[in-house]
A and B are shown apart, each in its own frame.
Chain A
Amino acid sequence: MHPIDLAIVVAYVALITSVGIRFSQRIKTAKDFFLAGRSLTWWVIGLSIIGTNVDTNGYIGASGNAYSIGIAQANFEWIGAIPAMIIAALIFIPLYWRAGVYSIPEYLGLRYNAAVRVVSAAIVVVVSVFAMGIAMWALAVTLQTFIGWPIWLGILVSGTVVGLYSIAGGLAAVAITDSIQVCIMFVCGLIIVGIGISDAGGADSFASKLLAENPTHLSAYLPADHEGYPWHGVILGLGLVLSPAYWVGSQAILQRTLGAKTQWDASAGMMFAALAKTFVPLLIIFPGLLALVMVADIEYPDMALPWVIKNVLPVGVSGLMFVAIIAALQSSIDSSINSTALIITRDIRHVLMKNHNPEADLVIGRMLTLGLLLCAMGIAPFIGDLGGIFNFLQFLLSLFQGPLLALLLLGALTQRATASAGIITLASGVVLAGLLSWVLDMNLLFVAFFSFCYAVVALWTISGFTQPHSQEHLRNLSYSPWRDR
């Protein structure tokens, strides 16, 4: 690595760490730690949401996918995000604010029962720990690739940096550092677009070179018989189920909206994130297309972005881009650690330990943050061997998405859904999703869609035969902007 690039990396690490430690002085209670003392403004929330959302898969994997399938990869940022983000901003964020909850499992617990709360919390925790391990490993591999550090050193250094500001500063530090990280990502993305189009001889020339060998690479959708991303599967599975399940139900994403200083800031933050999300393909799709146009000599698609950094970017900018990748990984790890610590502290400990002491939440939250970080650092070196397990966990999570979305939607928008129907629907919906996947070997996009349709019908029907909560109990737990003002 060139000394100028190395200086940029060192400056970045110093900046992020000092920001995090500065915020540590403001932490007095668990609310300060987990919800930033409800002090975040809309633009910080928006940038932090994008920082949390763009991770390893989003950066390196999406560039590789764009190299293979073209602009269709952008559906994950457009129809696979924007409608759900608008719905989250206008309906679900106001609902969570009215309910006064710290987490999505807490909302599910209040709306249904403690069993739904603990099950949903446990799923999030297990998947998050392994996802953090993956991200930590990817970070170490990136450091090894660019500056030659052994894996263990990369894990130790990156874990220490993330730990310093996450444990000390809580959500406020995480959100502010996320915002800085996203700004760096966008600056780098725009530089790559500028250099790439200039080298290709202009936008028209870029498009004609790309389409000459890859005629479908500027088409938003792929044919219905495409194995991975058939267009009807993308609209039904991604657009109507997986995306809403993520944007209205992900604790890591929504926690910063619960830490907003007003409900308007929370909703506006999600809207601002949607605007930024629209332009995320410039960061993560364009490098893949650029590698194609420049006829990159790479062994497999995921090498597209590293190739662009190494062969296209000048000294200084490549250091900044390297920082952007580290930033993308760090912002996902820090958010996961903070939200997972919150879920264990409140949604598992508070429910299972009847005599818990809420005053101890801050200390326990910080200890859990450290413990989760150490877990992720401990798992990270073995991720290569655990690949099968991680795929299984991802698969497990996908089984819950459809039924959980049905519980959230009907629970939020109607007063009909009952506690008994909720737990029966969750259990049977997961079994159905498993059968569709294992027995019929169905594409996961369609598994999500059909398990969601089943769960909506089952929840609605079973609720007709089971005991509902009182209207008084549901007053702040269901919400319709058309009905409640």
Chain B
Amino acid sequence: MSSRVLGRRGKKLDLRSAEELRAERRKGRTGQYLVLPGMIGLALFFALPVLVLLAMSLYTKPPGAEIGEFVPALQFSNYAVMLEAYWPVLLRSFWFALIATVLALLIGYPMAYLVAVRLRQHGLLKGILLVLLIAPFFSSFILRTQAWKQILSDEGFIAQTLKAVSLLPADGHLTATPIAVVAGLTYNFLPFMVLPIYANLDRLDTRLLEASGDLYANPVTTFTKVTLPLSASGVFAGTLLTFIPAAGDYINASLLGNNRNTTMIGQVIDSRFFRVIDYPGAAALSFVLMVSILILVIIYIRRFGTRELM
């Protein structure tokens, strides 16, 4: 009798009916089915295009071909040619993206802190500021960048004022400068920096800050030893969400820069695709950009990553 209730290894036998077990297994599978559309989507719209891109980057132009006519090949020299011509642009893109990320962090962290910690008890004001943080998303990215172009234009208020106080030479410009491009990048990607940090600081237990003060830490030390480490994962997510799209961005560079000193890699890829009609070259550059961002991000995660991301 007892041998029937106890299984072979002495464990209690599962007394649920076969029906119930099937239902259980079906429930487990339902979860898997739900992931399926996403997996198919990823395969169709991400994995496949990346493979096509990789293949395209190795295509070659047959002798006497028409414009835009390429044949499959394994022409690895495409990469060498593109890298040799555009490595300074690639470097500049990362440099601009880095500056924009640092600026967005310096501007965004205090904003997130104000809304999430300082205004925690002021529901209405906090809500209004949160909406204002998200508000830029309600208008188009290009439109906002165009607006920046107006703001920074030679006839604009800022340029006129700077000229009036001689901070800018009379023939100086704000647009078509690296400053304008970095400013545009910073502005456009700021919400991606603020929101993850906000989400993180919103959960910060302010009693820990009191405890830190009670243990002789001045406000600066409290920030560096308690607040910042506890919001590190938000800072981490924010910097990634800002740096990655900023490095590949070409809207800001074309609308606010559009000159040799401000060209970013996105612009080059754009022009090789649509103007020069050099599909393999554009594909090779896209691939280089993708892989270099991936490498930089991996180094960053290894160095500063929090456990959740590893």
Determine if chain A interacts with chain B.
no
Q: Which B residues lie at the A interface, using CB under 8 A?
A: none
Q: Which A residues lie at the B interface, using CB under 8 A?
A: none
